[in-house]
Amino acid sequence: MANNSGTEVEPENFVQNDLVKTAVSFLQNPRVVDTPLAQKQKFLRRKGLTDEEIERACELSGAYKQQHEQQLIRPPLPPLHINRNQMQLTFFEKLREIIHSMAIFSIVGYALYKIYENYIAPFLFENSVNELKRNLDDVKIEVDRIGRSSDRNTEKQLSEIKSDISTVKGLLLGRKQFPNVSYSPIVPPSIPAWQMASVQDAADGDVENKTEELEDMGSGSGSSEPEHYTKTSESSLEIISSPNEYVSSQMTGEEYNDQ
C-alpha cells in the first residue's frame, strides 16, 4: 500500500499492543506460571483476547518454552495407592450414617404428611370425609338402638324362663301332696256286706212268712195251698242257696229300669 509521497507502508498490525502487553505480564506472573497453559489461554479468551493475540502473548512471555521445560523436568506422579483401611467405615460410623439418613427421611416424610393432611386432603376429600363421618354417626346410633332393644328382649325372655322354672320347681316339690298309688291285688267282684245282710234279712222274712203259711195250712187249707207252699218254699231255698246270683239279677234289673 503506498501513500501520497510514493513510499510503501507496512501492513497494519491488527494486534492490540496494550492487551498483548497485559497478557504477557499475566503469563509471567509467578503465581500463574505453574498453571497449565490451556487453562491460562481459556482465561485470556474470557477476557476478550483473540486467538492471535493469545498466541502472540504466549510467544513474547515464553509460555510455550516454559511449558516444554515443565514437561521435561516434572517427575512422573507416583501410583495412587488407596488405603482400604481408610475406606472401611467402623460400625459406629455406619450406625451414625444410618441414623442420620433415617432422621432426614423422617423429617421429610413428616413434612410431606403435614402438607398432605392440611392442604391436599381437605381439597380432595373434604366432602367425602364429612359424608363418611355422618354415616358413621348414623350407624353408631342405630347400633346403640339395636343393642338397647336386644337387652330389653333378653331381659324379658330371662324373666319368662325364670317364671317357667319356678312353676316346674313348684310342681316337682309339691308332688308329695298327691296320694300315692296303691298297688292292691285284684279281687274278683263280690256282693258287698250290706247287700249280703239285706239278702239274709229278706230270706229270714220269707222263712217266717212260709212258716206262718204252713201253720195256716195245717189248720185246714185246700190241696192247692200245699202246692203253692211247695213252690214258694223251693223259690226261697233257691234264693238262700245262691244269694249272689239273686243279688246280681236284682241289680241288673235295677240298671235296666234306670236306663
What's the pLDDT tens digit per position in 80-132? 454 555 456 688 888 999 999 999 999 999 999 999 888 888 888 777 778 88
Instruction: Supply the pTM of this predicted model.
Output: 0.25
The per-residue pLDDT for range 57-83, each reduced to its tens digit, is 888 877 777 666 666 555 555 554 545
Domain ranges in the chain?
17-73, 90-173, 201-243
241 within 8 A of 206, measured Cβ to Cβ: no
- Count of other CB atoms within 10 angstroms of residue 254: 10
Computed over every residue of the chain, the mean pLDDT equals: 70
Q: How far is CA 65 from CA 32, 60, 224, in A?
A: 15, 10, 205
pLDDT, residue 44, reads 81
CATH class of 17-73: mainly alpha
